[in-house]
Amino acid sequence: MSAGARDEGQRIDNFLLKQLPGVPKSHVYQLLRSGQVRVNGGRVKAERKLSSGDEVRIPPVRAADKAQVARPPDAVLNRLRAAIVHEDEHYLAISKPAGLAAHAGSGVPYGVIEAVRAWNKYDFIELAHRLDRDTSGVLLLAKSRPALLRAQRALKHGEAEKRYFALLIGKWRGEDRDVDAALVKSRLQSGERRVKIDEDDGKPSKSRFSPKSRYRDATLCEVQIFSGRTHQIRVHALALGHPVAGDTKYGEREDNKPLRELGLKRMFLHSHFLKLAPEGDFPKLILNAALPDELRDVLDRLPRAR
């Protein structure tokens, strides 16, 4: 098959995942590692970016027929339509609900991108970034390859401003705190993904925690991240001794018990602000997503600090 103009600049792994619906992601990466995928006759790595006209050779694989790929329920499609916070000629922004993945994956039949594509409204639509499944808030999608690359550049090089609200366990001492700690990903034998601080092998990561409301046993912080690493806020918060409330992966069950009793049924992490600076023909973009009612209700029930 040939890469078209819409595929210009797209990584080969993402191109394959789109071309092979229903094929497990792990199998796609195994095909790349083993050299079974060729571009213009040569072996390529996952990060290779395509140019229009590139010839891509894919070995025979048993892919689910597109008609058999899980279609998100109408209730999900309608919920996401109601969650649109911004749309223009270049971008679509949705306030993603917690519990819904950004995209399909192992054991996850569909996510936001599959649902938006099921609207059958856009010729081109791609995720500009990701949010953890349990994180709510601003999720940006691009309507063209140039818009996608503009957003990805800004996010990769720290030129985008990203702010979250996070309820942290414990009393916060003082004011703003920065965490500048490299992070590395790993997988347990069970397949569970974990992230830890590792200054030798990790990728540079920086977060700034600013307290906004203080409660008896918790603190609401606004968190600005200057990099976009997996689980960054969650691991940096843990390093400060204040894990994110409701975080079952990095937090302690006993710490979260009082909050569960107050109605917290999810991780209290919400992406509320994203800003992209103007670039070329693209104007400045400012996006906001209000804190969901289920999180506001928890704050209303929390005893205030004395």
Identify whether the C-beta of residue 128 lies closer than 8 Å to the C-beta of residue 134: no
Give the whole-angstrom CA distance, residue 234 versus residue 245: 10
Give the whole-angstrom CA distance, residue 227 versus residue 238: 17
Bridge partners for 203 per DSSP: 183
Bridge partners for 180 per DSSP: 206
DSSP string, 174-189: SS-EEEE--EEEEE-T
Residue 132 among the catalytic residues: yes
Catalytic residue among 7, 54, 132, 134: 132
Identify whether the C-beta of residue 166 lies closer than 8 Å to the C-beta of residue 265: no
Kindly give, in sequence order, each residue whose CB lies less than 8 Å from that of residue 217, ignoring residues fewer than 6 positions away. 169, 170, 171, 258, 302, 303
Alpha helices in the chain (DSSP H): 12-19, 25-33, 74-82, 112-118, 145-156, 232-239, 253-261, 293-301
The set of catalytic residues is 132
